[in-house]
Amino acid sequence: MNAAPRIQTTAGRLAALGFADGARAERLLDELGPEAVGDLALLDDLVGAADPDLALTTLSRLVERDPSVLGTFRADPDLRRRLLGVFGLSAALGEHVVRHPECLPSIQWTRWPALGDLREEMLLAVGADPDTAEPVAEPAADGVTAGPGTPSTSGTPGPAMEALRVAYRNRLLHLATRDVTGECTLAEVAAALADLASVALEAALAIARAEVADAGDVRLAVIGMGKCGARELNYISDVDVVFVAEPKEGVDETKALQTATRLAQGMMRACSASTPEGALWEVDANLRPEGKMGPLVRSMESHLAYYRRWAKTWEFQALLKARPVAGDLELGQQYVAAVNELVWQAAARPKFVEDVQSMRRRVEAHVPAGEADRQIKLGPGGLRDIEFAVQLLQLVHGRSDPLLRRRATLSALAALSRGGYVGRDDAKALAEAYTFLRQVEHMLQLHRLRRTHVVPADTADLRRLGRGLGMTTDPVGEFTTTWKRHALEVRRLHEKLFYRPLLQAVARLPETEARLSTAAATARLEALGYADPEGALRHIAALTSGVSRRAAIQRTLLPVMLGWFADAPDPDAGLLGFRQVSDKLGTTPWYLRLLRDETAVAERLAHLLGTSKYVTGLLLHAPEAVAMLGSPAELAVRPAATLAAEAAAAVGRHAEDAETAVAAVRALRRRELLRTACADLSGLIDIEEVGQALSSLNDVTIQAALDTAINKVTLERRAPFPTRMAVIAMGRLGGLESSYASDADVMFVHAPLPGAAERDATGAAHAVAEETRRLLALPAPDPPLQIDAGLRPEGRQGPLVRTIASYRAYYDRWASHWEAQALLRARFCAGDAELGREFVTLVEPLRYPAGGISADAVREIRKLKARMEAERLPRGADPALHTKLGRGGLSDVEWVAQLIQLRHAGTVPALRTTRTLDALRAAAGEGLLDPADEEVLAQAWLFASRIRDALMLVRGRAADSIPTPVKERVLLARALGYPPEGTEDFVEDYRRATRRARAVVERVFYED
């Protein structure tokens, strides 16, 4: 049975045509009258609007206000099409037309007026003489009643401000009609908006002159900055300006600057004050020297003095756009000419790279949380990415190429392409992305005439944007797809604009790509932070030249990695290390494929190579370890039991060759040192976890070497090994606080087996101890582990190995206070576990005396500490910067903890720990140390420990002092997470932390 035919209602037909609410559209059309309902041309223009419902709503309100509009529309179809196009995009401009229907004739203009005509129009609107820009009469404009004006300094806007707003929005409406109908390009719209802002500033300055006495005593120039200066302004944007003033002849400069400041303030107020007609926009003068903290108006000489001495790179980047826009244009031109001489030398400044990196971070920090993926200005792949890159390339290459000195982004990008600094296809793609994003930005702002750069999530809003861009089949889907495609293209910005052309300069690549000269490539590398650009070019050439598959993959990888190297503390070292590792692994199939396919691996490798000589050295001897950089899970510290089993297996495989066996164990240690260092520099583990991991790794290594040595000595003796042996960890190893540079402080103890002669057992034990030390210190590609037994009884003069009975006899009779203090860190680490526990039990009464230590002992410990401070600090070392023996450093904090333990651990079991921070925490928990003091001491200890480890990681060799050379300090600070400009902050932070810790030491340790 066939279904009854479906009868479509008028509301249904309207919905099918594009109205979101067909029933409401039907009602509004009926209210317009039968002539409107039957006017198919009117309906076509409504349906063609970006938002037909919004266009019809605004039209309905306008007809209600002025019924003659429909007749005007029939008589002028072009006017109807233009106006309804604006109504469908901009509720705010529709509201303006409803309030001021008398502005309709302005929409019939097809030609945009010249700048001089615009200026005359705006000045007449506020009652100023177009020839002199001086006020001559009370202002009057359509829709604004002229009358006695109240100076805006009273806080109440006068009719001149209202007239300015009406005249400005009339022209804004005129421009919008030309924009939405496609009668002008994006560049023409942006330039017209900038011109309109310029004449509005001129009119606002005329309003200010009417309020400021002695306004004629000063020459005041308004310099447009940002998009206003570049003639690429948005519909709604803060208008960035800088003010420069000079006194007229015979006028005191101070008085003239005061007058100019009042004029500038009055001009800003005339634009931003709220009136019944709203406000224009904010006039932002924060790009001036010293920003908000600096004077609003300066003389030319004052501006130049600041820029020559104090300005940062970003301030010169801002001056790229500087253009006189209002006031004394001759003075403005002189100002721009003067600062341009400084702008084009900015890339040669000492801190150019640091300033650029700081600026990039500042841009990223300005993206509000939750908006990054919808921000078309500051988000990934947004407008700021393109603008930033174009401006940076201008600063780098514009020093020697005047053709690049353009203000507007699109014209600068075209000049970069013509000059060969950017590939033609790249420039075209970026120009298309920039144009699209700016068009979206304009439509977002037109809707409510509000400053916004966030793509809405609402489907209706997305539909309006898509239709406004001519997407009618699937407006939401087409818009979203196009937007994301452009954002992804822009996201490849740094590869496209900065690094890819560097490869062209040294490798045989297609001629369609941009090809820099060697000099230009050198300049670009230098500007990006490479200290040896010629050397960098040689490395790039070695990696990318040729037709091999390896060279082809490197040409894909390097543009991205060069950027990551540039972001690292030492780009040159990073690139050199990458070449060295690649030379070792370049023919290995998985290596380049891993870097190409796993972005995280390549980025982490670039960061590590550009930060740490220690990591680079380890990688060069085990390049296959690159594979562990794939994920945080791969860099997780491995359990000690797992490492011990692997080490034991390695020893077992080479049981008959001690040196080969320990070499295998040392290779395992090298791999785990690399794993720990990578996790450390990647921020995956903290300094306490680093100390624990390194100490456990040393335990495993010592155990394996000890087992190997016992096996070797046993084979050589051709008799069973006659004694049990244990290794007691001391110092930082005992405290589980080892650093990358730490030796292994240990003591050897043995206990002869039943029936064994003590002399024979001691000889065998001594041979094993010596062999263990020798095996771990053999020259090899792997880092040695030096065994230091200097803390044993009688020091280096005493026997290397003692029986446990000998230790007991010595400690009972001869032990000194410093030995008891050293034993606070004693713990078993390798060998016979039962013997190790027996030794620890033996020394418990010595290091944790039941009644604490005597007052005499306390005095002796304090004297010893004072003597160490006076005698052991290296000659020439700065006590404030020596992390181990300096004031408030590691030694200070550790001696406080150890003195508390010696005095109280006998009665407070919580203090019985070999770890410094655990002892301090326990002391605070038991009321023996103020919690605030514990926090101060712990922070200083952690900071000093991080610095010592970072010194080893960065330099590849041990050191205890913060270095004096600026470059080394910068590298160290960067490795510790400080920004490029934060080196002095790092040093001051350390001084502050240790200064506070030293105050606690004086009070708690010395009781001063």
Q: pLDDT digits over 39-60, tens only? A: 778 899 999 999 999 999 999 9
Specify the DSSP class assigned to residue 135. Answer: B
- 647 close to 703: Cβ distance less than 8 angstroms: yes
User: Which pLDDT score is estimated for 14?
Assistant: 86
User: Which pLDDT score is estimated for 145?
Assistant: 37
For residue 148, pLDDT beyond 50: no
- Do β-strands 239-247 and 218-224 pair in parallel, antiparallel, or remain unpaired? antiparallel
- 964 close to 856: Cβ distance less than 8 angstroms: no
Strand partners, 746: 729
Contacts for 455 with CB less than 8 Å, ≥ 6 apart: 374, 375, 376, 440, 444, 462, 465, 483
Mean pLDDT score, 386-413: 90
Which string of b and e fits 189-228 if b means at least 16 CB within 10 Å? Answer: bbbbbbbbbbbbbbbbbbbbbbbbeebebbbbbbbbbbbb
C-alpha pair distances (Å), 834 with each of 679, 726, 800, 838, 848 = 34, 9, 20, 6, 21
* Phi, psi torsion values for 840, nearest 5 degrees: -60, -40
- 449 close to 90: Cβ distance less than 8 angstroms: yes
- 50 close to 467: Cβ distance less than 8 angstroms: yes
In single-letter form, the type of residue at position 875 comes to R
Mean pLDDT score, 185-212: 95
User: Which pLDDT score is estimated for 143?
Assistant: 40
Specify the DSSP class assigned to residue 910. Answer: G
For residue 961, pLDDT beyond 50: yes
User: Which pLDDT score is estimated for 494?
Assistant: 62
User: Which pLDDT score is estimated for 923?
Assistant: 97
Contacts for 672 with CB less than 8 Å, ≥ 6 apart: 638, 643, 693, 697
Q: Residue 137 is encoded by which pair of tokens?
A: 């009469």
For residue 149, pLDDT beyond 80: no
Mean pLDDT score, 965-987: 91
Q: pLDDT (tens digit, 9 = 90+) per residue, 201-259?
A: 999 999 999 999 899 999 999 999 999 999 999 999 999 999 999 999 999 999 999 99
Q: Which of 686, 688, 731, 703 is nearest to 641 (CA)?
A: 703
User: Which pLDDT score is estimated for 670?
Assistant: 95
**Given pLDDT bands bounded at 50, 70 and 90, which one contains residue 643?**
very high
Mean pLDDT score, 591-601: 81
CA atoms within 13 A on the CB side of 669: 27
Q: Residue 126 is encoded by which pair of tokens?
A: 């506020």
Specify the DSSP class assigned to residue 823. Answer: G
Q: Residue 427 is encoded by which pair of tokens?
A: 């420039």
DSSP string, 878-893: -TTTBTTTSTTSHHHH
* CA dist., res. 45 & res. 65, Å (int): 21
Q: pLDDT (tens digit, 9 = 90+) per residue, 252-270?
A: 999 999 999 999 999 999 9
In single-letter form, the type of residue at position 412 comes to A
Q: Residue 122 is encoded by which pair of tokens?
A: 């705006």
Q: Which of 864, 698, 860, 861 is nearest to 784 (CA)?
A: 698
User: Which pLDDT score is estimated for 353?
Assistant: 72
Mean pLDDT score, 327-337: 96
Specify the DSSP class assigned to residue 368. Answer: P
Q: Is residue 248 left, alpha or beta, with left meaning phi > 0 and alpha meaning psi from -120 to 50?
A: beta
Burial of 11 (0-12, 13-18, 19+ CB in 10 A): middle
**Given pLDDT bands bounded at 50, 70 and 90, which one contains residue 194?**
very high
Mean pLDDT score, 534-541: 92
Mean pLDDT score, 93-119: 86
**Given pLDDT bands bounded at 50, 70 and 90, which one contains residue 908?**
very high
CA dihedral 695→701→703→707, nearest 10 degrees, is -170
For residue 271, pLDDT beyond 80: yes
CB atoms within 10 A of CB 146: 15
- Determine the 3-state secondary structure of 744 from DSSP: strand
- 49 close to 58: Cβ distance less than 8 angstroms: no
Continuous segment of H or E residues that includes residue 635: none
Mean pLDDT score, 295-299: 96
For residue 510, pLDDT beyond 90: no
Q: pLDDT (tens digit, 9 = 90+) per residue, 414-464?
A: 998 888 788 788 889 999 999 999 999 999 999 999 999 899 989 999 999
- 505 close to 537: Cβ distance less than 8 angstroms: yes
Continuous segment of H or E residues that includes residue 820: helix 817-822
Q: pLDDT (tens digit, 9 = 90+) per residue, 780-818?
A: 888 899 999 999 998 888 999 999 999 999 999 988 888
Q: Which of 116-120, 423-427, 595-599 has the highest mean pLDDT?
A: 116-120
Strand partners, 244: 221, 298
List the single range of 141-145, 601-605, 617-621, 829-833 with lowest mean pLDDT.
Answer: 141-145
DSSP string, 148-204: PPPPGGGT---HHHHHHHHHHHHHHHHHHHHHHTTSS-HHHHHHHHHHHHHHHHHHH
On average, the pLDDT of the chain sits at 89
Give the chain's end-to-end CA distance (angstroms, integer): 106
CA atoms within 13 A on the CB side of 556: 13
For residue 142, pLDDT beyond 80: no
* Phi, psi torsion values for 67, nearest 5 degrees: -60, -20
Percentage of the chain with pLDDT > 70? 94
Q: pLDDT (tens digit, 9 = 90+) per residue, 352-395?
A: 777 777 777 777 777 777 787 888 988 888 898 899 889 888 88
**Given pLDDT bands bounded at 50, 70 and 90, which one contains residue 6?**
very low
User: Which pLDDT score is estimated for 506?
Assistant: 64
User: Which pLDDT score is estimated for 503?
Assistant: 63
- 259 close to 265: Cβ distance less than 8 angstroms: no
Strand partners, 749: 726, 802
For residue 692, pLDDT beyond 70: yes
Q: Which of 278, 276, 277, 283 is nearest to 222 (CA)?
A: 283
Contacts for 621 with CB less than 8 Å, ≥ 6 apart: 670, 781, 782
List the single range of 276-285, 561-570, 632-641 with lowest mean pLDDT.
Answer: 561-570
Mean pLDDT score, 2-29: 76
Task: Give strand ranges (E) for 618-743.
Answer: 723-729
Continuous segment of H or E residues that includes residue 481: helix 475-491
Percentage of the chain with pLDDT > 90? 66
Q: Residue 782 is encoded by which pair of tokens?
A: 């792997």
Residue bearing the bigger pLDDT, 586 or 876: 876
Q: pLDDT (tens digit, 9 = 90+) per residue, 868-880?
A: 888 888 888 899 9
C-alpha pair distances (Å), 50 with each of 39, 88, 312, 461 = 20, 5, 45, 10
Q: Which of 590, 441, 422 is nearest to 514 (CA)?
A: 422
Q: Where are the alpha helices (DSSP H) in 745-799?
A: 758-777
Mean pLDDT score, 196-202: 97
User: Which pLDDT score is estimated for 141?
Assistant: 43
Contacts for 877 with CB less than 8 Å, ≥ 6 apart: 885, 886, 961
Mean pLDDT score, 906-924: 97
User: Which pLDDT score is estimated for 507?
Assistant: 56
* Phi, psi torsion values for 300, nearest 5 degrees: -55, -45
In single-letter form, the type of residue at position 547 comes to V
User: Which pLDDT score is estimated for 7?
Assistant: 41
* Phi, psi torsion values for 788, nearest 5 degrees: -115, 110
| CA dihedral sign, ordered 375, 380, 383, 387 | positive
* CA dist., res. 354 & res. 359, Å (int): 9
DSSP string, 273-322: S-BTTB----EE-TTSTTGGGS-SEEEHHHHHHHHHHT--HHHHHHHTT-
For residue 500, pLDDT beyond 80: no
List the single range of 20-34, 77-91, 592-606, 900-914 with lowest mean pLDDT.
Answer: 592-606
User: Which pLDDT score is estimated for 748?
Assistant: 97
